[in-house]
Amino acid sequence: MTKDIATPSRTKAIMDKHQLSFKKSLGQNFILDANILRRMVEASGVTKEDGVIEVGPGIGALTEQFARRAKKVIAFEIDQRLLPVLDDTLSDYTNVDIYHQDILKANMQELFETTFSDTKDVVAAGNLPYYITTPILMAFLEKRLPIKTLTVMMQKEVGERLAAKPGTKAYGSLSIAAQYYAETEEVMTVPATVFMPRPHVDSTIICCRIRTQPPVQVEDEQLFFTVVRAAFAQRRKTLMNNLRHWIGKKGDQDALKAAFRYAGIEGGTRAEMLSLSEFAALTDGLLKEKVVPSLELS
């Protein structure tokens, strides 16, 4: 077996051979510990019958670990400089294809219908740069792509928000969105010392096991997420004050209070104290009381 890419010596050799420099604008940090990547692959639950979608393969360190365990790997790399590098580092693996494309602009439906037509399940994974973490996460979750798991390495602060519970400082609209679509688990903390170049903060690996059904039922899913975002608009304000501001002067204040009574929630509560089921009840109450019949919900 070829020596792992994720070692200090091999990474340096690859960088030197291809005269590579790190692109700060793309948040590039290459990991130097293959054991951590193997933990990530194991957490994804991938099998020899499965396909893999990887976001940002870099020089191929995680890609090769998946290639050893999966039937097929499709990796999306936006940095053109890395394409010849990946052709070189992954030349031993016939089950890997690199797409030079922004994954947020890719036709994912076509990918599943063609490329992954002969795989049992599909898992998604990636070492995500901070600036694009949330858009990529939500793109996978909101589009309800037919994936089994989404296993990502990200800045620790963002990872903690994904897995946060009500009543904690990290709990917010991102926590609710992630937990609505998936069961989230923190796999491990990844220290800054195992990256090149070394970032200023630690990272974490989060595994999102995609739900077949959300944990709560709501009459209007779009309204549910709009209410959640409005509730967390200003964390120091009470839930009632945030929603009053959201519905504006033309909103029916009495109907808003009635919606709170319907849901059994005190108006003086702060958003971070509410569970998914309480947000669902409040959303249904807002619909029942017709608090927001004409609001723009985009």
Which residue numbers belong to the known binding site?
Answer: 29, 31, 56, 77, 102, 127
SS3 189: strand
Q: Is 218 exposed, middle or buried (0-12, 13-18, 19+ CB in 10 A)?
A: buried
Return the structure tokens found at 100. 């030079």
Could you tell me which residues are beta bridge partners of residue 51? 72, 122
Contact 119, 144 (CB under 8 A): no
Cα 289 from Cα 292, distance rounded (Å) = 8
Cα 293 from Cα 221, distance rounded (Å) = 15
**Known binding site for S-adenosyl-L-methionine: residues?**
29, 31, 56, 77, 102, 127
Of 233, 280, 289, the C-alpha closest to 257 is 289
Helix (H), strand (E), coil (C) string for 37-73: HHHHHHHHCCCCCCEEEEECCCCCHHHHHHHCCCCEE
The total of other beta-carbon atoms located within 10 Å of residue 32's CB is 21
Cα 139 from Cα 137, distance rounded (Å) = 5
The total of other beta-carbon atoms located within 10 Å of residue 194's CB is 18
Cα 142 from Cα 216, distance rounded (Å) = 16
